[in-house]
């Protein structure tokens, strides 16, 4: 297995047991991806809690954060929101309607094309998304607190390299 360490986690125990049962197989993929899967569950819980504390559902976060990242005046077309959130057109329309109902976004006529609309983040939407991102960054920093900055940077680089193979 990887580096020699006195500490063992549940994945080490699982891989050790499989190695005894099936010594003909290379279990190194499980050493990496089973940990990624387990960490993903912890991350999902931390994110849901950060969003819940800001009174946002994860899908609301997706839309509001796309608008916030767009910068002032925090607006995008529904088509741009579709591209950033990867949901269907009908789903996006429903999400925008629900966010308008909560007064977190508003629809405005596109000055460049009177037939089109732009979705704009309201001040309440901005307050909530800013609170959520602050909570999220704080929660994620806690999850990574056992790693040095150098270790975080190396891990981010390795995960980026792995991720690029899937994003094409």
**pLDDT score of 165:** 83
Please state the length of the chain: 168
**pLDDT score of 119:** 97
Tens of pLDDT, residue by residue over 62-108, are 999 999 999 999 999 999 999 988 888 999 999 999 999 999 999 99
Confidence grade of residue 168 (pLDDT, cut at 50, 70, 90): low
- Its pTM stands at 0.81
The matching CATH number, chosen from 1.10.3720.10, 1.10.569.10, 1.10.10.10, 3.20.20.140, for 10-143 is 1.10.10.10
**pLDDT score of 4:** 47
């Amino acid at each position: 297995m990887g580096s020699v360490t006195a500490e063992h986690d549940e994945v080490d125990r699982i891989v050790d047991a499989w190695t005894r049962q099936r010594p003909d197989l290379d279990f190194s993929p499980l050493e990496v991806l089973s940990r990624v899967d387990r960490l993903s569950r912890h991350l999902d819980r931390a994110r849901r809690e950060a969003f819940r504390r800001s009174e946002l559902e994860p899908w609301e976060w997706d839309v509001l954060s796309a608008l916030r990242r767009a910068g002032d005046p925090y607006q995008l077309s529904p088509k741009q929101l579709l591209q950033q959130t990867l949901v269907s057109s009908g789903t996006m329309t429903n999400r925008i309607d629900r966010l308008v109902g909560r007064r977190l976004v508003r629809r405005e006529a596109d000055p460049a094309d009177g037939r089109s609309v732009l979705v704009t983040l309201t001040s309440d939407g901005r307050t909530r998304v800013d609170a959520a991102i602050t909570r999220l960054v704080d929660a994620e920093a806690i999850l990574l607190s056992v790693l040095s900055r150098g270790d975080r940077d190396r891990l981010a680089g390795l995960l980026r390299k792995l991720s690029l193979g899937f994003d094409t």
